Structure 1
Amino acid sequence: MTAITQADDSPKIPTRLYSLDALRGFDMFWIMGAEEIFHALADATKWGPFIAISNQLTHPAWNGFHLYDLIFPLFLFMAGVSTPFSVGRELEKGKSRNQLVLRVIKRALILVLLGLVINNGLNIKPIHEIRFASVLGRIGIAYMFANIIYLYSTEKFQIFWFWFFIIGYWLLLKFTSAPGFPAGDLTMQGNFASYMDRTILPGRLYLGVHDPEGLFSTIPAISTGLLGILTGITLKKTTLSQGTKVLRLAIVGVIFLVLAQIWNVDFPINKNLWTSSFVLNVGGLSLLLMAWFYYVIDVLGYQKWAFFFKVIGMNSILIYISGKFINWEYTTKGFFNWLLYFFNDPYKLVVGAICYVMIKWLFLYFMYKKKVFLRV
């Protein structure tokens, strides 16, 4: 399960990327409790930098962007990066495209079902009380379509589909709206994507009139998955030196960030709608992070510092769904409640948040040592 790390700049055939597992773990780290550490630090110290970080670890109400908005699309991006190393490798071994498509569809269905369980538990409910849209559901659907495009098209056509989805989505929302609202309305009630979700999605929407993981706004999310696939193709190429790969990802990342700000003027950066400017903005940041992790870990060979994150990244789905079958607050108190007696409020909350993350990491480390990994 380990990656082969090259310290030189010559083109080599890459296998599993240590940097990809580490970046995935870095991404999950922020939603497995690390954000609460900084919220607690901000409340305890009232120090400006901690308050700024704490604010970045929240979601804007509608338009705008905080770094916390990057976690979800970065995970989808990385699912795409892994495609050329997993699905692509199976294709090279001789498996047919039809076989691989069936595997991709199966994985998407499993993720959709897991999303339903996370949203609603295993309780039997009336359909109108069930929330069908979910984070894992969006990942599954976007991953599926991106992988189908990967399997049946060339790299040039994958680039075409990337732009087709986000430009088409922009035009659609620009010239349409919910009934009774002016064309191009992008409010929660007035935009066309939310209206379509209210029309076609059964059950309840997360915000009543809108769901941030709705079905219609999954269309541009396919482009996020495709960008990851194109990144994976680049990292897998043996015709490019490792330095060239890093430079290419970094340059495209900066270009995307600039384009996102330009597009933001007409089509605001908005995670709730997964707007096209949002796709470019998080795509640019994802490319820069991937370039940095790949350069430091796989090119320069500095791996030890990233082991903490790799342990998380190797079981990312497991830790995401674990809250449904493990009471982490109870477990944390069971192991560390004695430690909290040495601290007074408000720092007791800071220590508690650190212990909460640590007990989760120790669980993942145990699974890592036993070589138990949840695969979907």
Structure 2
Amino acid sequence: MTTSHSPAEPAIAQPAPVKRLLSLDTLRGFDMFWIMGGEEIFHALAKTTGWAWAIVVADQFSHPDWNGFRAYDLIFPLFMFMAGVSTPFSVGSRLDKGVDKTEIARKIISRGLVLVLLGIIYNNGLFTKAIHDMRFPSVLGRIGLAGMFAQLIYLYARPRTQYIWFAGLLLGYWALMMLVPVPGCGAGVLTMECNLASYIDRLVVPGHLYKTIHDPEGLFSTIPAIGNTLLGIFAGSFLQKQGKTGNQKALQLLGAGAVFVLLGWLWNFVFPINKNLWTSSFMLLTGGLSLLLLSVFYWIIDVKGIKRWTFFFTVIGMNSILIYLAGEFIDFGYAARFFFGGLLKLSSSEVVHEVGGALAFIAVEWAFLYILYKKKVFLRV
């Protein structure tokens, strides 16, 4: 892990800014905005006003208990998808320069393992704990492992074989989940207690699982998550191609996204959409929505050249992993109260206090990222 002082070429396999796609940086920043506190604005509005629309929106910024889908479920797979989109530009450019595949593979693997380690630190802190008290699965770990395998497939497999891998991972996971019996439960049971993914995680993952009997970032359910990064790789490779106009690319991405969304909803009837299990239908749905968002951002920013609004999100997108980690080690809430607490106390309105507090928190985080941006300091893994 290094801290870069130059915004030049992204590190190998790093989901970092791609200079030719401002839309990718902007979309990544838009995605991370909700993680760094954007959703709290609507939760605060719903809590303090009782407005029906605010309650509906706030509900979308929560996860369903088990089966189903809400907008908040898209944030994680969208980030993985964007890591894939950047791969043909970062890894592909090194291949074009004649860099040995073995060297690239080593960097891909080392980055994946570093993200796993950072995820363990994020979960458990820097202080040593007993193994049985630690949680090993993590968001960063899934990003690292899924990205690593997807990028190795991109590195060593021909495009046609990559598509076979994509279909095989989704169909294979479905077959295993539905056909392999779990002791004491039988086959095809998809409850938290009885599904195959949770059972395997309980057998092989050290430490404890997030929900004791299940972990939403478990090892086995990482298999279909590779598909999100692979789909991003397909989209990035498509955007690299010559011979099509920007309008044509945006329209075809939009159409592909709609098809994947439809396929995901259809598959839902036999393999329910479930983020906890990262079911194949969930992968297709989130992959399709990711394609839809990329097509819109790409058309507005890179094709039509409407860029002035992007700066706010680009500053976030340039240091996306850093701001995710920083929240565990920097008390942004304290800084927000220090700088804005007096101003908020001038009003007796609960709405001002709650919503203003959420906005102040985001403002402090963004200012922190802006300082790093101006100094050209970007976290590279």
TM-score bracket, normalised by the shorter chain, equals over 0.9
* 1:244 partnered with 2:283: no
User: 1:158 Cα deviation (Å)?
Assistant: 1.1
Question: 1:216-255, aligned counterparts within 5 Å?
Answer: 216-255=220-259
Q: 1:312 deviation in Å?
A: 0.3
In the alignment, the residues of structure 1 paired with residue 320 and residue 379 of structure 2 have an alpha-carbon distance, to the nearest angstrom, of: 8
What residue in structure 2 maps to residue 355 of structure 1? 360
1:344 partner SS? coil
The answer to whether residue 117 in structure 2 is matched with residue 113 in structure 1 is: yes
Equivalent positions of 1:15-26 (< 5 A) are: 15-26=19-30
Q: Does 1:295 align with 2:265?
A: no
The verdict on how the C-alpha distance between 1:92 and 1:2 changes in structure 2, with shifts beyond 3 A counting, is: closer
SS of equivalent to 1:273? coil
Structure 2's unaligned 5+ residue stretches are: 1-6, 10-17
Query: Structure 1: how far apart are the matches of 2:346 and 2:333?
Result: 19
Are positions 1:200 and 2:204 aligned together? Answer: yes
| Distance of aligned partners of 1:65 and 1:310 in 2 relative to their CA distance in 1, 3 Å threshold | same
AA matched with 2:295: A
Cα distance change on mapping 1:65 and 1:183 into 2, 3 Å? same
Give me the whole-angstrom Cα distance separating, in 2, the residues matched to 1:227 and 1:278.
Answer: 13
Note the residue ranges of structure 1 that are not aligned, 5 or more in a row.
4-13
Give 1:16 deviation, angstroms.
Answer: 3.0
Deviation at 1:15, TM superposition (A): 4.8
**Separation of aligned partners in 2, 1:343 and 1:82:** 46
The aligned counterpart of 2:127 is 123
SS at match of 2:327: helix
Q: Is 1:368–2:373 an aligned residue pair?
A: yes
Which residue in 2 is equivalent to 1:71? Answer: 75
2:343 aligned partner, one-letter code: L
Number of equivalent positions: 366
- Give the partner amino acid of 2:302: D
- 1:182 deviation in Å? 2.5
Other structure's SS at 2:380 match: coil
For 1:189, the equivalent position in structure 2 comes to 193
CA contact (8 A) 1:2 1:16 kept: no
Aligned letter for 1:351? G
How much has 1:243 moved relative to structure 2? 1.6
Cα distance per residue 1:308-342 (max 9 Å; x no partner): 10000000001000012211111111111111112
Distance 1:100 1:88 in 2: 10
What is the CA distance between 1:240 and its match in structure 2? Answer: 2.2
The answer to whether the 8 Å contact 1:253/1:284 transfers is yes
Alignment of 1:1-376 (within 5 A): 1=7, 15-347=19-351, 348-376=353-381
C-alpha distance in structure 2 between counterparts of 1:316 and 1:343, whole Å: 34
For 2:26 and 2:169, how far apart are their aligned partners in 1?
A: 29
Distance in 1 between residues matched to 2:159 and 2:348, nearest whole Å: 58
One-letter identity of the residue aligned with 2:324: Y
SS in 1 for 2:152: helix
CA distance in 2, matches of 1:280, 1:346: 41
Distance in 1 of aligned mates of 2:83 and 2:215: 22
| Distance in 1 of aligned mates of 2:237 and 2:143 | 20
Corresponding position of 1:9? none
User: Aligned partners of 1:333, 1:15: CA distance in 2, in Å?
Assistant: 36
In the alignment, residue 99 of structure 1 is paired with which amino acid?
Answer: E
1:105-137 deviation digits (Å, cap 9, x = unpaired): 010011011101100001111100000000000
- For 2:163 and 2:307, the matched residues in 1 are separated by 32
